[in-house]
A = this chain, B = another copy of it.
Amino acid sequence: MTKAALPTRSRIIETGTNLLSTSGLSGITLGTLAERTGMSKSGLFAHFGSKEEVQLSLLEHTAQIAAEHVVAPAMRAAEGLPRLKALFRNWLGWTARAGLAGGCPIAAGIFELDDTEGPVREQLLQMEKSWRALLAQHVAQAVDLGHLRRDLDIEQFVWELCGIYLSHHAFLRFVRDPRADKRARIAFDALLGRALPKDAKKKKKAALRRIR
């Protein structure tokens, strides 16, 4: 059976995901992947039918460890706004916490595959969409619980959230600016400020006035 094959295959995929995060999808070659896994190219190839299959498996595994390190721990936070905040906090720089050496393969793929066609693009697109849907779902929950204003444009909120993530990624990993975290936090707070119910704003203002 494939019982004995699984450890090897997952070892390949683990090594490969690391390579993916540092070198991007185009940086994945059977040769380098085999070398880093410590096996022959053909031996590695036998576990997948094609290079495309390798790429798809790597993306799938990426989604899985992202869910593990971003979504799962956020579920311990209370529903609504606290969970949304935790989700966003875990999102920023999740790859390092997941043990990946490089950046976010999904973000990189978005800019790498925007003019290509094929199954790899399709899979990445689906991953991106379901991630955005998950974000939207938790925003909606925060609205339902009265944590965010009832007339909030949820799609717009998520859209801007993605912008903060991308800018954070660019500044953290490319520019290597240590202030990336701070910038993202400020932007997130401002975005949240627009999304809070009106009475919550008044409360905050009142609290601020009391401090002064």
A residues neighboring B (CB under 8 Å): 21-24, 26-27, 101-103, 107-108, 110-115, 125, 128-129, 153, 155-156, 159-160, 162-164, 166-171, 173-175, 183, 186-187, 190, 194
**CB <8 Å contact, B111 and A107:** yes
**CB <8 Å contact, A111 and B103:** yes
Partner of A156, one of B107, B155, B168, B183: B183
Inter-chain contacts of A26 with B (CB < 8 A): 24, 26-27
In the complex, A65 Cα to B124 Cα: how many Å?
31
**CB <8 Å contact, A114 and B110:** no
Inter-chain contacts of A115 with B (CB < 8 A): 21-23, 101-103, 173
Inter-chain contacts of A156 with B (CB < 8 A): 183, 186-187
Inter-chain contacts of A160 with B (CB < 8 A): 163-164, 167, 183, 187, 190
**Chain B residue, CB-CB nearest to A162:** B167
Secondary structure type dominating chain A contacts: helix
A-B residue pairs in contact (CB < 8 Å), sample of 24: A101-B115, A102-B114, A107-B111, A108-B112, A110-B170, A111-B111, A111-B169, A111-B174, A114-B170, A115-B173, A125-B174, A128-B174, A128-B175, A156-B187, A159-B171, A159-B187, A160-B167, A160-B187, A162-B167, A162-B170, A163-B163, A163-B167, A166-B170, A190-B194
For the complex with contacts A103-B115, A160-B187, A160-B190, 6 further pairs of A-B residues with Cβ separation under 8 Å are A107-B111, A110-B174, A111-B170, A115-B173, A162-B171, A163-B166
Chain B nearest Cβ from A120, distance in angstroms: 12
**Chain B residue, CB-CB nearest to A161:** B167
**CB <8 Å contact, B163 and A114:** no
Inter-chain contacts of A169 with B (CB < 8 A): 111, 114
